């Protein structure tokens, strides 16, 4: 699974975050928008440095191509990966002060 970030002013893809090996089921930005968390059926929560991704996209000569190779740069923006061992993640949520991240597992 991957996560795509779009520039809503023009509809272009800013970047694609690669890392999950299965469907991404939940996304949450921290309250300051500096961090993005993604939860997946691959039983992981991944934390991404969204501020750096967005700052990079504002550079005048910056552009992502749409080939698979741009995922490598985006993967370098991953700050952490938290495995849940054996439960898929259906929901992630930051606390107001960004001190905790909660994830909700899938239990059939």
Higher-confidence position of 14 and 108:
14
List strand residue ranges (DSSP E) for 1-108, in order.
Answer: 2-7, 12-18, 24-29, 35-40, 44-49, 78-83, 89-94, 101-105
Count of beta carbons in the 10 Å neighbourhood of residue 24: 19
Q: Which of 97, 105, 107 is nearest to 45 (CA)?
A: 105
Q: What is the pLDDT of residues 43-95, one digit of tens each?
A: 999 999 988 876 656 655 444 443 333 444 555 689 999 998 888 998 898 88
Q: Spell 41-61 as b/e; 16+ CB within 10 A means b.
A: bbbbbbbbbbeebbeebeeee
Q: pLDDT of 94-104, one tens digit each?
A: 888 877 888 87
The enclosing H or E element of 53 equals helix 50-57
The CB density around residue 8, as the number of other CB atoms within 10 Å, is: 8
Cβ 36 vs Cβ 28: under 8 Å: yes
């Amino acid at each position: 699974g991957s996560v795509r970030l779009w520039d809503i002013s023009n509809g272009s893809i800013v970047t694609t975050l690669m890392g999950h090996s299965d469907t991404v089921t939940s996304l949450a930005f921290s309250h300051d928008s500096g961090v993005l968390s993604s939860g997946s059926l691959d039983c992981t929560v991944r934390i991404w440095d969204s501020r750096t991704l967005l700052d990079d996209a504002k550079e005048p000569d910056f552009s992502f191509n749409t080939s698979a190779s741009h995922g490598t740069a985006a993967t370098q923006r991953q700050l952490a990966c938290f495995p849940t061992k054996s439960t898929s993640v259906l929901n992630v949520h930051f606390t107001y002060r960004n001190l905790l991240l909660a994830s909700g597992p899938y239990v059939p």
